[in-house]
Structure 1
Amino acid sequence: MRALDFDYMLGLVPVLLKYVPLTLGMASVSMLLALVLSCLLAIVRVLKVPVVDPFTGLFISFFRGTPLLVQLFLFYYGLPQLFPSLTALDGISAAVIGLTLHFSAYMAESIRAAILGVDRSQWEAARSIGMREGQMMRRIVLPQAARIAAPTLVNYFIDLIKSTSLAFTLGVTELMGATQKEAAGSFLYFESFIVVAVFYWVMVEALSLVQGQLEQRLGKAVQR
């Protein structure tokens, strides 16, 4: 059995570090956009907005029921076939759009459950003082739902970071794409993928620590 090339692995670390900002940037932008979209979807589902609600349900069903890789290919390779103007869409933009729509569908259901988890007395109290639905959601329900959903949303962000590795299939040279190129050039596939696995592992563990601290803070807030 061939020994691992540790010198190559150590030399690969600074090379891959240059691509971490792109990976985290894609994940952060996608998470922010998905959070906004998922809140809107969840509110529509909870309030059962006429006309819009069935389309929202269809959107969530489609993006939860199809693989992320298929969705990325659909946006990057499929849509330009129908809309030639989209041929200018680059891989990073297509990846961000795909990640945003995919995770917003999952997050919408979590946020919807968190909204419904807010005590009904809070809803009734808001209505009793004459609050409109929008005011009630913005001032009373959503702040409480955010506390309930926060740990789950961090989990989605962790999954989103790992899912950015699929962006290399669209030609994006992010962390996984850079590793693939280095491995193809050196033929040291095992060493290359071990290093990138550690990169993702470290990022996920760092976020897991943040999640743990967040859950402790939220737990103290509830106890008060």
Structure 2
Amino acid sequence: MRGLDLDYMLGLFPVIFGYVPLTLAMAAAGMVFALILASLMAVERVFRVAWLDWLVVLFISFFRGTPLLVQLFLFYYGLPQVLSFLTRIDGVTAAVMGLTLHFAAYMAETIRAAITGVDRSQWEAAQSIGMTQTQMMRRVILPQAARVAAPTLVNYFIDMIKGTSLAFTLGVTEMMGAAQKEAAGSFLYFEAFLVVAIIYWVMVECLSQAQKQLETRLNKAYAR
């Protein structure tokens, strides 16, 4: 039984760290687009636009009910066979699309629950002073819903960062892809993947601490 090659691991850390920006960029882009899409779907689910509601329900059901890896393969390998203009799509774009749509389906339900959880008196007060639905949502309801939804949305961002590890299956050389290549050349698979696991672990722990501080700050105004 051989021991860990610590020298190899220490030398591999800087190599893998070089791909952290790409991992964070994919997760950040996916989070921004997912948040926008999820907010729109959540508002629709609250007000129930008849001709659109069934489409939103179908979207949420599909992307919550199928694995992320299957969705990534569908976007990168499947859709270009059906839609010719997608043949130029690269792995990073396909990964961001997959992350966006997959997590938007989950985030939409979180935001919808946060919106409906706002006390009815807030809705009635906004209506009583003549606010339109758009003004009411933008100035009164969504800011309060954001406080409730924020911790869960940070959890989804953490999951999204971990989900970027699947991008290597599309040929993207991010942290996981770089580790796979390094391990294939050295045959030190355990050490290579352990380095990746440690880096992901540190990133997630940093975000978890930031999440706790965010919760404390958001709840400070409501503390008695």
Give the TM-score normalised by the residue count of structure 1.
0.99
Q: Name the SS for the 2:50 alignment partner.
A: coil
Structure 1 stretches of 4+ moved >4 Å? none
The answer to whether residue 126 in structure 2 is matched with residue 126 in structure 1 is: yes
Return the offset for 1:134. 1.2
The answer to whether residue 52 in structure 2 is matched with residue 87 in structure 1 is: no
Structure 1 counterpart of 2:58: 58
Q: What is the rounded CA distance, in whole Å, between the counterparts of 1:31 and 1:68 in structure 2?
A: 15
Alpha-carbon displacement from aligned partner over 1:17-54 (angstroms, at most 9, x marks no partner): 11000000000010011011100000000011121111
Q: What is the rounded CA distance, in whole Å, between the counterparts of 1:135 and 1:68 in structure 2?
A: 36
The code of the aligned residue for 1:206 comes to C
Structure 2 counterpart of 1:10: 10
Structure 2 counterpart of 1:195: 195
The code of the aligned residue for 1:90 comes to D
Return the offset for 1:130. 1.5
Structure 2 counterpart of 1:184: 184
Structure 2 counterpart of 1:48: 48
Q: What is the rounded CA distance, in whole Å, between the counterparts of 1:14 and 1:4 in structure 2?
A: 18
Structure 1 counterpart of 2:75: 75
Structure 2 counterpart of 1:165: 165
Q: Name the SS for the 2:118 alignment partner.
A: coil
Structure 1 counterpart of 2:155: 155
The code of the aligned residue for 1:65 comes to G
Q: What is the rounded CA distance, in whole Å, between the counterparts of 1:182 and 1:44 in structure 2?
A: 47
The answer to whether residue 22 in structure 2 is matched with residue 26 in structure 1 is: no
Q: What is the rounded CA distance, in whole Å, between the counterparts of 2:185 and 2:161 in structure 1?
A: 25
Q: Name the SS for the 2:4 alignment partner.
A: coil
Q: Name the SS for the 2:168 alignment partner.
A: helix
Alpha-carbon displacement from aligned partner over 1:108-134 (angstroms, at most 9, x marks no partner): 000000001100000011111121111
Structure 2 counterpart of 1:218: 218
Return the offset for 1:217. 1.0
Q: Name the SS for the 1:168 alignment partner.
A: helix
Structure 1's unaligned 5+ residue stretches are none
Q: Name the SS for the 2:137 alignment partner.
A: helix
Alpha-carbon displacement from aligned partner over 1:98-151 (angstroms, at most 9, x marks no partner): 000000000000000000110000001111112111111111100000011000
Return the offset for 1:220. 1.1
Identity %: 72
Structure 2's unaligned 5+ residue stretches are none
Q: Name the SS for the 1:223 alignment partner.
A: coil
Q: What is the rounded CA distance, in whole Å, between the counterparts of 2:62 and 2:28 in structure 1?
A: 23
Q: Name the SS for the 1:56 alignment partner.
A: helix
